Each structure stands twice: as C-alpha cells, then as structure tokens.
Amino acid sequence: MAATNPQMQEILDAFEELDPKPIETLDPKEARQQPTPADAVERVLEQRGESTDPEPVGSVDNRKIDNADSSMPLVGKNPVRVYTPEGEGPFPILVYYHGGGFVIADLDVYDSSPRALANAAGCVVVSCDYRQAPEDPYPAAHDDAFAAYRWVLDNVEELRGDGTIAIAGESAGGNLACGTTLRARDQGLALPVHQLLVYPIADGDSSKPAFEEHAQAKPLNKPMMEWFSEHYAPDTDDPYFSISNADLTGLPPTTIVNAEIDPLRDDGPLLAERLRAARVEVEHRHYDGVTHEFFGMGAALDVAKEAVSFAAGRLSESFERSKTHA
C-alpha cells in the first residue's frame, strides 16, 4: 500500500470523522447530500485554528447560461461562476469543469480550484455546471460542457477576456474538457490554447491495475466509479467520452495531473501516451502520497499548492505563446 502524505492523511481522517456513507450504496439524491472532501478540508482548518475563508480573488459572479447552443434544442439554463483576478485586464480565460462522476457535486464543492487557478495563472476562470445523471445520462453533461465553451467564445469581451482561452477539468470534468476540445476541433471552432486535465476519466474501462490496487481507496474507489458509470454512461465508446480511444490529432498542448492513491491513476498516463502518439505536446505529472481530489486542497495540503503552481505555469506558457503568435 502506498504511503500517504501526512497532511493528506490528516484530511482523510477528518473525512472519516464526517461519517460519509458509501456512495455506491445510495441513490443519487442521497449521494449528493453526503459530506465531501471539501468539507474535510474545512474541518482540518478548523481543527488547526486556521481560517476557513475561501481564497480571495478580485471578484466572483454567479450567472446562468443556456445549456445548449444554436445547433441543439434548448433544455434550460445551467449555473456558471466567473472568477476574475485582481487587476484591470483584459485577462486570458480558463473554462473549467468540476468533477463528481457526472452524478454528484457542484460549483460549491469545487470552489477552491478555480480560485487558486485564477490567482496563480492570472486568468478569468469560468466554472461551468452541467446536468447530471441518472436524470440526464450521456451525452447531457457533454452537451452542456460544449455549450458552455461556445458561450465563452461568444462572450469574451464581456468576461474581460483578451481572446486567449484554455480549458480545464478535474476527474469527470477532465473528461468533459477533452471531449469539448475534440468536439470544437470537429466542428471547426477556435480551439483552446491549452488543456489542463486533472486525474481525468480517460474511458469507461475499470480493468486497469490502479482500479484493483486502490479498489477501496478514499475518497474515490472502484465501486464508486462503477456506480458513476452505471448512471451516466454504462456502455459507450463515443470518442467524446472514451477520449483515450479518440482521434487526438490537432489538439492543443496538454497538462495531465495524477494522484498516486487513486483508481484513476492509470487513466492519465494512458491518455498522455495516446496524445503523444498523435503528436500533441504533453506534460504529465504524478504526485505520490496523495489521493483523488487532492488538487483543490491547497488550503490544507502543501503538495496541492505545488500541483496548482505547476499547472498554472503550464497554462501561463500557453497563454503567452498564443499572444506572441497572434
């Protein structure tokens, strides 16, 4: 068994104290009410006597946007949260999708990563919500993610953007981000200048070694992943979901972040290998001793700050390169 980073273990212990029920034993509505890793971080900060206030940014604006573009039937509206850093701008823009296995979580659960990235990369972050399964199975979340990307393309000036756009996501959100980039390429839209994929779901295959090695890991394990898959996409080889099996040619530079103690540990390297085979520039970084969801835990976990700094540096390089070539 991999050795757990002491700060990571402190967070995992706090998570257990919150008594989360096994997600795979619940119905989705019950699952959405369970304690989250973000709650565990807050508990650790309280136990340490440290502030639980969110990382400050210049401004935060909650909005709702159409969850379909002109090519798709309008279903309704989805929340987006726009994080703008301090300064006059205009700024690069990062379109961000949260995790949750396409079934649980929301913009509040994944509030810390967009704040950290907005500050570290000096960019506007548009965090996009989407419909969830089983009420709305595949491809609802992917349609919503693509519609949100289209909305950002159409509203750059209003968002105080400089016309440079990147894309990012964690876990299920990493799948949405790459699927959106593929769809933008196939429809001839402007591509993001960079993809940041944090422990992305590369496909629906749970037979990889990490799924067995970390079958009972927390906060994500193999039964949970199979539960998520059953609800959202039990059997699809659509390339916008099974991204590791898609034609990946023409995609922008990509950064992939993975955690050691995570059933999705092997998805990132697999996707990196397929991207490199398609001649896409990729940097993959693996962090030992940490679990799924570590990336947004910078308030209590030093290695998360390192990962955010690395990711932000990669984003900034692509932002600057894009401006130079504009």
Q: Tell me the sheet residues that pair with 284.
A: 256
292 among known catalytic residues: yes
Q: Which two tokens stand for residue 30?
A: 């019950």
The answer to whether 200 and 169 have CB atoms below 8 angstroms apart is yes
C-alpha 153/C-alpha 93 separation (Å) is 10
Closest CA to 197 of 147, 248, 272: 272
Q: Among candidates 150, 83, 148, which has minimal Cα distance to 122?
A: 83
Report how far residue 254's alpha carbon sits from residue 107's, in angstroms, rounded to the nearest whole number: 24
Active site includes 171?
yes
- Among the listed residues 113, 171, 229, 318, the single catalytic one is 171
Q: Which of 111, 162, 262, 266 is catalytic?
A: 262
Cα R_g (the chain), whole angstroms: 18
Q: 142, 194, 231, 292: which one is catalytic?
A: 292
Residues 6+ apart with CB under 8 A from 142: 176, 179, 180, 183, 240, 241
In 76-129, DSSP assigns E strands to 77-84, 91-97, 124-128
Cα 9–chain centre separation: 22
| CB-CB contact of 233 with 279 (8 Å) | no
CB 68 within 8 A of CB 147: yes
Instruction: Answer whether 20's CB lies under 8 Å from 35's CB.
Output: yes
CB 294 within 8 A of CB 261: no
Secondary structure (DSSP) of 225-272: HHHHHHHH-SS---TTTSGGGS--TTPPPEEEEEEEESTTTTHHHHHH
- Per the annotation, the verdict on 262 as an active-site residue is yes
Catalytic residue positions, numbered: 171, 262, 292
